[in-house]
Structure 1
Amino acid sequence: MAVTQQLARIPAEYLAACRQAASESPDRDSHWNPPSEDVLDLDWAPALLERVCEPAGLDDVHRDALRQATQGATSIDVGFLNTQPHAIAPFGPAPTALSAVEVARVAELLGQIDLRAILATLPTDETAAVSLIGDGAEGIAGGPRKYLLEHFDALREFYRDASQRHLLLVLWWD
């Protein structure tokens, strides 16, 4: 099974309940199980999205927002989610999270990114475009443009919905 980027939008109360369950459980089980409709699998898109935005000249503010959207922040302690034997990220970096305020800021900035325009800056030759994007882009079925656009649109919509619902996000690789 491949390790892919996962995001979950959850209420702060749910995270608090999971933290409490982990602290009270003899085996540190947090009972982490967000509803499937509030989980997004970004596959391997995060690094590819970041790489395609760099040569296109996306400004630092929006690149940082994209990076935060896929890497999270350290303002919320979610270390209890990384405790064995119930770790949610046993194969990747420790889980991170964004507060509802951070989610709203990221959602606003993601909404300002025109990924179609960024993808239009790629060379028209698919081999040259794949070479520019880098490692992993060559094996994408349907081509990197379609893949990146679908994943970015899903990420932007996921954040928009989380922002409207005042939810926080937890991010991990699984």
Structure 2
Amino acid sequence: MALTQQFARVTSEYLDRCRDSALTSSGASPGWDPPDSDLLDTGWALWGLIRCCRSTGADPESIAVLDRAVSGDPDGNVGFLDHDEVYDGFGDPPRLLADMPTSAEVAAAVCGFGPGFDIGVREHLTEHFVALREFYRTAARHTQCVVTWVD
């Protein structure tokens, strides 16, 4: 089973309930179950985008923002989510999509997708980047936190 980058939008009150549940339940379960409409699975596309940005010399600040959006903050106080259900961090929205090589084969190699990646790399990364950006925008509009983890 491949690892994929996951995101959830939740309120701070929801996180407080999860923290309380983890402290009081026998298995330290946070009771993590956000609605499907507040979940996003970007597969491994964003890791390829970050790799591409680094290898093509994109602006380091933009790479850092994208990396933070995917990795979360190291000091996020969500250790109670370090559970089978979910774990780790918060982040801010990314701001830039890097230019991609025009050749699909070269673009796949730059992103680390390897031979046999048979869909348009630019379209694949753009689709997931746009979904992530909109996901963060919606969270900001609703004053929600974003939790990110790899599953």
TM-score, with length taken from structure 2: 0.89
How many residues end up aligned between the 2 structures?
Answer: 151
Task: Work out the CA distance in 1 between the residues paired with 2:104 and 2:20.
Answer: 50
> Using the alignment, how far apart are the partners of 1:10 and 1:3 within structure 2?
22
Amino acid at match of 2:88: T
Q: What amino acid does structure 1 have at the position aligned with 2:106?
A: A
> Aligned Cα RMSD in Å?
1.8
Q: Indicate if the aligned counterparts of 2:11 and 2:144 stay in contact, CA closer than 8 A.
A: yes
Matched, 1:126 2:104: yes
Distance of 1:139 and 1:161 partners within structure 2: 35
SS at match of 1:138: coil
Contact between 1:48 and 1:137, CA under 8 Å: does it hold in 2? no
What is the aligned partner in structure 2 of residue 159 from structure 1? 136
1:96 partner amino acid: D
- Partner of residue 28, structure 1: 28
CA distance in 1, matches of 2:60, 2:110: 19
1:92 maps to what in 2? none
In 2: Cα distance, 1:35 partner to 1:162 partner? 13
2:18 is matched with 18
Letter in 2 for 1:157: E
1:4-54 deviation digits (Å, cap 9, x = unpaired): 110001000001100101111112121100111000001011210101212
Q: Quick one: distance in 2 between partners of 1:146 and 1:68?
A: 22
In the alignment, what sits opposite 1:46? Answer: 46
- Where does the alignment leave 5 or more consecutive residues of structure 1 unmatched? 90-94
Name the structure 2 match of 1:88.
85
Distance 1:12 1:72 in 2: 16
User: By how many angstroms is 1:137 displaced?
Assistant: 4.5
**How big is each residue's C-alpha offset from its partner over 1:84-118, in whole Å with a ceiling of 9 and x where there is no partner?**
xxx125xxxxx2222xxxx5xx33xx2x42x2x61
SS in 2 for 1:160: helix
Letter in 2 for 1:165: H
Tell me, in whole angstroms, the C-alpha distance in 2 between the residues paired with 1:33 and 1:18: 9
The answer (yes or no) to whether the contact 2:9–2:144 under 8 Å persists in 1 is yes
Secondary structure at the aligned position of 1:40 is classed as strand
2:124 maps to amino acid:
Y
Q: After the TM superposition, which of the residue ranges 11-20 and 163-172 deviates more from structure 2?
A: 163-172
Q: TM-score, normalised by structure 1?
A: 0.78
* 2:73 counterpart of 1:73: yes
| 1:118 partner amino acid | D
Letter in 1 for 2:16: A
